[in-house]
Amino acid sequence: MERKVMYFERKGPENTQEVLNIAKSRIKEGDIKKIVLASTRGETARAAVEVFAGLELSLVVVPWQYGFKEVNEFPREIVPEIERKGHSVHFGTMLFHTTELYGSNTPQVIANFLRTFGQGMKVCFEIAMMATDGGKVDIAEKILVIAGSGQGCDTAVVMTAFPSTRYKEIKVHEILCKPLVG
């Protein structure tokens, strides 16, 4: 099988529209019905809802957990807007930021390893587990995951999701796009 992978010269929000278009093309193949999307401030979530309108899919938006920063930047008022369109928002525990909770550096070791593929790739794994832990994604469900490196999105993968208790079973089937890692 041959597939195209888009590599962006730079990470960041300037790639958002292209990532969403790539994801839309992949969704149209029909074997994936759920997208998990990172969105910190809501702009990426709003853009995704617009781009994916009319497609038979469920979008799970995953912002930062409450308490990660002094103020959660995701505007609560857009949650009902997203839900009215048949999608959901999940504020779960950011698993790679739990060293104080569990007293182990293991989450940070895993996060640092995944960052060798780019920050967006680390976030893809994290939000897929968060959404599965929260019941928004079924165990062993094939999903498309979109994340970024700060703002916007620049990474998209197709993976089989598992909860954090079974993270070793996660399988990445396709890398659709990502920034070049410098």
The ranges of the chain with pLDDT < 70 are 65-72, 94-104, 182
Tens digit of each residue's pLDDT (9 = 90 or more) over 1-53: 888 999 999 998 999 999 999 999 999 999 999 999 999 888 999 999 999 99
What is the CATH number assigned to the segment(s) 6-179?
3.40.1380.20
pLDDT of residue 74: 75
Helix 43-51 to helix 16-27 angle (10° resolution) is: 40
Helix (H) or strand (E) holding 109: helix 106-115
Helix axes 106-115, 119-133, angle to 10 degrees: 130
Domain ranges for the chain, please list them: 6-179
For residue 100, the model assigns a pLDDT of 57
Say which residues have a Cβ less than 8 Å from residue 95's Cβ, sequence separation at least 6.
Answer: 107, 126, 129, 130, 133, 164
Q: How far, in Å, CA of 21 to CA of 26, rounded?
A: 9
